[in-house]
Structure 1
Amino acid sequence: MIKPVRHVHFLGICGTAMGAVAAAMKEQGFTVTGSDEKVFPPMSDFLRGRGIALKEGYCAANIPGDADLVVVGNAIGRGNAELEEVLNRRLAYQSMPETLRNFFLRGRRNLVVAGTHGKTTTAAMLTHILRSGGLNPAFMIGGIAEDLGKGASLHDSETVVIEGDEYDTAFFDKGPKFAHYLPSLAILNAVELDQMDIYADLAAVKKAFGLLMRVLPENGVLIFNADDPNSREVAAASRTKLKFAAGLGPAADEKSRATDLHHEPEASHFTLLGTRFSVPMVGEIYVRNAAMAILAAHHCGVPLDVVQRALAAFRGVLRRQVLRGERDGVRFIEDFGKHPTNIRETIKALRHRFPGARVWAAVDPRSNTMCRAAIQHDLTNALAHADGALIGPVDRPERFGPGAALDPAGIARDLNAQGRRAFSESGPDAIVTRLREITQPGDVVALFSSGSFGGIYEKLLPRE
């Protein structure tokens, strides 16, 4: 007999997605509790403000006696005291994506934005455009969009925009999260080798994205990146009858191709669907993201003139080409930079944004992909687009076997051989010292990190 669900407990509740789902379930009338290894603002304040009881640290006693369902975050593994208690008591448990599907996505129009790159920005653009068009979509995005003010809102709406994460779902489900999201429309951006802690090679990545094609229904819609051969290959497996091959190049459908590109320091301009669009972000990567968001919004019924105005007003996503400040005439740009492709495209975009300026790239190798020797060649080639580069030490190199970790000194050596000024540094303090030695007024420094870069901005920029 299936027991009615009244009390839901979340393991790892302070993650962005977990917290959003927990808050939404509380709003639906469920009793919600949760625990996490670290409980701190702003998420702790957000959850407690909604009446959700939190426990810091994991122990068996945290599992309520009347819990009907336990939602297990994907960072929770065997050996966790609460998970072991759940298993020992034979309690009902499921992953966050399953919970999202079962309680929020069934029967709705779900727009799933996937791909190695551009997920967050494209999903934020699409959500912003749909809101401007009066559709008021629910959304879950893996970043904070300036226009939305938060990463998620699971209010009651016919339409839901979801960033489709390819990372694995839970300790018991190693498939990608997006396989659970019941897409009616899917956006597939570029497909590359990433998340190298769970994907051994590009074939494994393609297989994972192939799952999204397998769950997209025949009456669904697929918008894919026609400029990327891997995306084209994955999209070919979809059984959906309505496909849009979007992009800038000849592989794109004529009606789905962005043309007449023009970049200015503060915006990119292009034509699509017979309409001239402007997006206040610079670079081809953002034009491609915008093109897919436009096609999706237009398919959902938003008039092109509304799309045009909304896109022109889009304010972007935190940690994507954000000007953090200026000191002694040197401008410092923050970017997420979790993959060589992101770094290459951002450097190219900064050439348009700051014409004539010297562009330096400082890299904090932190993500599982950025720390590995497998991306040595690609990262070197990406940094060659800058005038000079500074590479910090690999985060926790002991995770990798001999020869498996990125070699920052080798990258600096190769770049110097190509005529670039490049330095392998011992950490953020050394990077700050070096930047003060080599930069001059008018220079631009792009700082790439998926973490905090060791508090480097507080060291680089004057205090107000």
Structure 2
Amino acid sequence: MANVHFIAIGGSVMHQLAIALKHKGYRITGSDDEIFEPSRTNLRLAGILPDSLGWDPSRVTADLDAVILGMHARADNPELLRAQELKLPIYSFPEYIYQESRNKTRVAIGGSHGKTTITAMVMHVLQQCQMQFDYLVGARLEGFAQSVNVTNAPLIVCEADEYPASVIEKRPKFHFLHPQIAVLSGIAWDHINVFPTFENYLEQFAIFIRTMEPGGRLIYNETDDTLRQLVEKEGQHLVLEPYGMPEHVIRNGITRVRFGNASTDLLVFGGHNLLNIHAALLVCRALGVGDIDFLAAIASFKGAAKRLELVTKNEETAIYRDFAHAPSKVKATIQALKDQYPERKLIGVLELHTYSSLNAGFMKEYAGALDPANEAAVFYSGHALEIKRMPYLEPAVIREGFGRKDLQVFTSRADLEKWLDGRSYSHTNLLLMSSGDYEGLDLAGLKKYLPVQKPQS
């Protein structure tokens, strides 16, 4: 039985891995300086919630087989220093996932956008087809009790993130997975606090491609010129499988997709999701799932949490929320709603919440992002700037970056709510995009905006 200690066990994905390994029969210990819900309850129910908060080097002993280091642990963490002193094997999260899956078929799904959704689609289809697999995904998915599972299954499906692995391992997480099957969905510069130039960001994807084993399968979005050129340059040692927009029609707000002679109606929509479905189809095909079985399964896929998630609707109005925050994601999400409901007015609201999106120098990357909306607003919280120790962001800089003079800019939730209260929602869709929560905006309460339906005479 392996003995594994987690430094910063309370992280949203870290605690899920700890629980998965406990279920596998490993002896698990952990520590953290703060543990929030739902991590606290999940760890307590699994019997591995630390007895007390804080760091204690005496928890790190010579009999440990592995120490797993969480993202928010600092380089001077006393438990980390003790582990280094004892020369114990220290792994970042993705490094350890690789250790647990060396003898499995590894599928890694990366790219600047869409990776969570493609991973979720593949997982949904494999589950519907009753295949055994492990997984790692960055969102809550219907039908899956947790976001990480590590068992003795012969296959693992991983969302492959380009963010650094840990405080002592600055390389991107996806460099450690070494997949036999990979997806790259597109490349759009993000995480400017880590990758200060586009060239630096692009190089991380080049390394990912170069370090795949010869003969591996790379499924990539050929509609992204930057990605296509990179794959053609770096991926000649691989089996290359491009994908693009599949054949589809939209009728009465329902999208129907076709591959060959088979077609099905979908619960999700948007050009980005059609591309995502094509990528997922090619992954599942490589894993032995037939196209007919794939389409039968994907027809019931509702989407990952906070990805074009329906908050409420009636016959003439719908309100959606979406995790979109990076420019490419905002453009894809807002265009999806415009294409799906071309006859409806669209009100778009974006919260700037990440380091990149709150940076004045990055604002020009959002040029045109909110153009498809009939009315548009941007919100950001002064508190978010304080936490990130960033300077005040001028509304004029935001309007100039987005290239929209009529753009409303709000820095208080009350002002945003007042503006929303003043809109007309007849034959309208409202789209709220953010990786935050608009300083606690009551999403359930937005149903008050649905126009009262007149009874049929």
Normalising by structure 1, we get a TM-score of 0.88
CA drift of 1:273 comes to 4.2
Name the structure 2 match of 1:455. Answer: 440
- 5+ residue gaps, structure 2, are 449-457
CA drift of 1:335 comes to 0.5
One-letter code aligned to 2:239: L
Name the structure 1 match of 2:243. Answer: 246
One-letter code aligned to 1:47: L
**Total equivalences in the alignment:** 444
Q: In the alignment, which of 48, 58, 71 is matched to residue 52 of structure 1?
A: 48
Name the structure 2 match of 1:397. Answer: 385
Name the structure 2 match of 1:34. Answer: 30
Does residue 94 of structure 1 match 2:91?
yes
CA drift of 1:119 comes to 0.3
Cα pair distance change 1:153/1:92, threshold 3 Å? closer
CA drift of 1:36 comes to 2.3
Name the structure 1 match of 2:454. Answer: none
Tell which deviates more after alignment, 53-62 or 448-457: 53-62
Name the structure 2 match of 1:314. Answer: 301
- Equivalent residues in 2 for 1:115-194 (5 A)? 115-194=111-190
Root mean square deviation, CA, Å: 2.6
Normalising by structure 2, we get a TM-score of 0.89
Cα pair distance change 1:347/1:170, threshold 3 Å? same
Cα pair distance change 1:273/1:67, threshold 3 Å? farther
Is the 2:180–2:212 Cα contact (8 Å) retained in structure 1? yes
- Equivalent residues in 2 for 1:426-441 (5 A)? 426-441=411-426
Does residue 325 of structure 1 match 2:325?
no
* Residues 331-370 of structure 1: CA deviation (Å, up to 9, x unaligned): 4311101211111111111123334222111121111221
Is the 2:322–2:432 Cα contact (8 Å) retained in structure 1? yes
Does residue 442 of structure 1 match 2:427?
yes
What percentage of residue pairs aligned between the two structures are identical?
A: 23
Cα pair distance change 1:41/1:381, threshold 3 Å? same
- Equivalent residues in 2 for 1:44-443 (5 A)? 44-55=40-51, 57-61=53-57, 63-65=59-61, 68=64, 69-102=66-99, 104-236=100-232, 237-248=234-245, 258-259=246-247, 261-264=248-251, 266-325=253-312, 331-393=318-380, 396-397=384-385, 399=388, 407-412=394-399, 421-443=406-428
CA drift of 1:44 comes to 2.1
Whole-angstrom CA distance in 1 between matches of 2:259 and 2:146: 29
Cα pair distance change 1:208/1:55, threshold 3 Å? farther
Cα pair distance change 1:297/1:326, threshold 3 Å? closer
Is the 1:164–1:178 Cα contact (8 Å) retained in structure 2? yes
One-letter code aligned to 1:216: M
Cα pair distance change 1:155/1:363, threshold 3 Å? same
Whole-angstrom CA distance in 1 between matches of 2:394 and 2:354: 15
Tell which deviates more after alignment, 275-284 or 195-204: 275-284
Whole-angstrom CA distance in 2 between matches of 1:129 and 1:406: 44
One-letter code aligned to 2:129: G
CA drift of 1:269 comes to 2.5
Tell which deviates more after alignment, 406-415 or 427-436: 406-415
Whole-angstrom CA distance in 1 between matches of 2:307 and 2:34: 26
